[in-house]
Amino acid sequence: MMLNEIIVLIFGIIIAVTILLMLRKIFFGSRTNLKINKKVNSRELFEPLENDPNSLRDEISSFDDNEALEEPQDQLTPETPDNNLFVINLEGEDKTITYKHLISLLEEYSSNYSNEGGWFRIFSDDHFFSLVNGLNPGRFDTSKEDDETTALTLILSPVSGTNTISNFNQMVTFAELLASKLDLNLFDSERNPLTQQMIDHYSHQAEDFDLRNFA
């Protein structure tokens, strides 16, 4: 009876040890795999974060440079009517105008114009006024159809022997058309909102010019 109990006990111990070894192998192997996988995932997740400071610095630097190009000091500041130039500026909040789109508008609404290589002449009855990029250097890059700007400028330089008041009125009408089609606002040469009072003031200056330069 004692011998049978001993044998059963030995077999029990063997079975228990075998089960423990199997369980140890299973759990030890799973733990090892889990640790390896976790390390790989950590590398994939944290390596981009380690690079973020440089990326952010580059983006901030690039953003500042681009913003600087669109600051008011980079905009064209043509002479005022006191120096025989009549100027109307067109700008809009968060509005960009591409070179290609501007050409398509001119072809649709103003057949009487010429492309002078990044800026345009819009012909009136007996003269012309200029349509230029409102940001320096004052013209579009003709090699890029997607070249864009945030401002346009119309300039009339009166000439003796022409009807300046009529030419100016045509420029105002054209400016209003562009503003309507491109959702822009009109400003005077000092970039103040263009009021009817200022338009009348320009008109009087145009009349004075014609009287002083009557041929």
Calculate the alpha carbon distances from 159 to 38, 129, 183 in Å: 79, 11, 31
Whichever domain contains 194, its CATH number is 3.30.1400.10
Tens digit of each residue's pLDDT (9 = 90 or more) over 173-193: 999 999 999 999 999 999 999
Q: Is the peptide bond before 158 cis (omega within 30 degrees of 0)?
A: no
Question: Is the domain of 159 the same as that of 101?
Answer: yes
Question: Is the domain of 21 the same as that of 38?
Answer: yes
Tens digit of each residue's pLDDT (9 = 90 or more) over 107-150: 988 668 999 999 999 998 899 999 999 999 899 998 887 899 99
Question: Is the domain of 107 the same as that of 16?
Answer: no
Question: Is the domain of 40 the same as that of 129?
Answer: no
* End-to-end Cα spacing for the chain: 144
Number of domains forming the structure of the chain: 2
The structure's pTM equals: 0.61
Q: State the residue range of the domain holding 84.
A: 76-212
Question: Is the domain of 11 the same as that of 86?
Answer: no
What is the distance between the alpha carbons of residues 57 and 48, in angstroms, rounded to a whole number?
Answer: 14
